[in-house]
Amino acid sequence: MNEPQEMLSGLLDDWKGDHDDRAALDRVLADVNERARWQRYQMIGEVMRHELPERIQADFSASVMAHIEQLDMPPATAVAQDRPRKAAASWWSSLLRPAAGLSVAVAVAFVAVTSLTRSPGPSGVSAPVVTASSSAVPSDPRIEQLAQLPVLAPSVKVSAAGSGTPAGREATGSLPVRRDNAAIKRKLNGYLVDHNQYAGSLQGIIPQVRVVAAGAQN
Amino acid sequence: MGSEELDSELVRRAQAGDKAAFDLLVRKYQQKVINLVSRFVQDPSEAQDVAQETFIKAYRALNNFRGDSQFYTWIYRIAANTAKNHLASRSRKSPTWSVDVEDAEHFAGESGLKEYDNPENLLLTEEIKRTVFKAIENLPEDLKTAITLRELEGLSYEDIAQVMGCPIGTVRSRIFRARDAIDKELRPLLQ
C-alpha cells in the first residue's frame, strides 16, 4: 500500500484539516506530478458522472499558470502595506529638510559669533579664553591622546596667558589664541570685501561699487 | 469538514503567494468552469479561452476574496460574467468581418489560443471516457462498489462504511485502490 497516495485520494473526498491532512497537502503542492495525479483522480469521477467537457485540453492548468507567471504580480496586500510606509518616509523627509537647513545656519552663526568674541577688543584686553581644564570638563582619554601628538606642538606659538613661553597645555589646558590684531583685522576686512562682492552681485548691485566702498572705509 | 474547507485552505495559501495552491484550484474546477462557460459559449475552443480568462481574472482578484461566499460560487460568478462579456464583444464584432488594426491584434491572440479546437482533443476526450469505463469494469467488485458509491452517489466515507459493512479505513483504502488501478490506464493518455 502506498500511504502518501492513499492520503492524496483521501484529501479529495474527506478533508479534515488535521495535521496529517495538511502534511499530505504540503506534499501535493510541492510536487507537480502529485498535482497531476490529483487531477487524474478527480477526472475519474467526472468521467463517471459524465461531467467531462466535449473537448479537454491536457495542459489547461499549465497554460493558465504560464499566463499568471507572465503577469508576475506582487501580492496586492504587500503593495498596500508598502504605501503608507513610503508616505511616512516622505513626510519625515519634508519635515527634516528645512530643520536640517536651519540647524546648519545656526551652527554657522554660532561659529561666527564665537570667533568674533574670541578676538581681542580695541582696548587690547583679550577675550575670554575657552579652557578645557580637567576641573571644568570631564577628561576624555581620546582627547588626552590627541593632545600628546607632536604634530600639534609647532602650531602653538603663544600661550593663553601671553607669557611668550610655549603654551603649557598640560598646565592650563587652554587653547591657543592669536593676538596679532592688525593681521586679523586685515584678514577679516578682506573676507568682508569678498563677501560683499558676491552678495552684491546676487542682489543686482554692481559689485565694484561695493568694493570701492569697502576700500574707502579702510 | 469537506471540499469547501479544503478550498478555503487552498485560497488562503494562494493569497499568501503559493502559486501551486492556485494551480490545484484550477485543476479542481477547470472542467466545471468549462462546462458552465459552454452553456453561454457554444464553440468549444472559445469556451476554453473564456475558462482560461476566468481563472486569470480570479487570480488577479484573489486578494479581494474574503471568503464570504464559497470559492466555487465566486469562481462561477466570474466565469458567467466573463462568458457574457465575451458574447457581448463577439456580437459587436460579428456583423462585419472587416478587421481594423486594433482588432487584428485581438484576433491574432484568439487564433493563438485555438489550439484545442482540433480533432486530437476530441479524440482524447473519447479515449479517456472509454479507458476509464473499461478500467472500472475490470475492477474487483468491492473496489467497484466503493468508487461507485463515492463518485456517483456522493456518499461520505462513513455512509459507505455502513453500506458495505466495513471500517472507514477499509473504505478509504478501497477507494484509493480503485482510483490507482484506473489511473494506471489513464496516465499514459494524458502524458
- The whole-angstrom separation of Cα A152 and Cα A147 is 7
- Interface probe, candidates A5, A14, A42, chain B, greatest B C-beta count within 10 A: A14
CB < 8 Å to A10, chain B: 172, 176
Quick one: which of A29, A33, A42, A11 has its CA closest to B19?
A29
Contact residues for A139 (Cβ-Cβ < 8 A; gap 6+): none
Average per-residue pLDDT in chain A? 66
pLDDT in tens, A10-41: 988 988 888 988 999 999 999 999 999 999 99
Q: Which cell goes with B79?
A: 466565469
- The whole-angstrom separation of Cα B49 and Cα A35 is 22
- Segments in A49-179 forming alpha helices (H): 60-71, 76-118, 141-147, 169-172
Quick one: which of B156, B189, B179 has its CA closest to A58?
B189
Percentage of chain A lying above the pLDDT 70 cut = 46
pLDDT at position A118 is: 62
pLDDT at position B45 is: 86
Q: Which residues of A106-137 are buried (b: 16+ CB within 10 A; e: fewer)?
A: eeeeeeeeeeeeeeeeeeeeeeeeeeeeeeee
SS3 of A174, please? strand
Please indicate whether, in this complex, the C-beta atoms of A14 and B22 are within 8 angstroms of each other.
no
Residue A98 buriedness (CB in 10 A; 0-12 / 13-18 / 19+): exposed
pLDDT at position A110 is: 77
A2 vs B63, more confident? B63
pLDDT at position B96 is: 41
CB < 8 Å to B171, chain A: none
What phi and psi values does residue B147 have, to the nearest 5 degrees? -70, -30
pLDDT at position B106 is: 40
pLDDT at position B165 is: 97
CB < 8 Å to B150, chain A: 13, 45
B138 vs A87, more confident? B138
What phi and psi values does residue A206 have, to the nearest 5 degrees? -65, 125
To the nearest whole angstrom, how far is the Cα of A29 from the nearest Cα of chain B? 5
Tell me: pLDDT of A170 over 90. Answer: no
Please give the residue of chain B at the shortest CA–CA distance from A70: B56
Tell me: pLDDT of A175 over 70. Answer: no
CB < 8 Å to B173, chain A: 1, 6
Residue B64 buriedness (CB in 10 A; 0-12 / 13-18 / 19+): exposed
Band (pLDDT 50/70/90 cuts) for residue B172 is very high
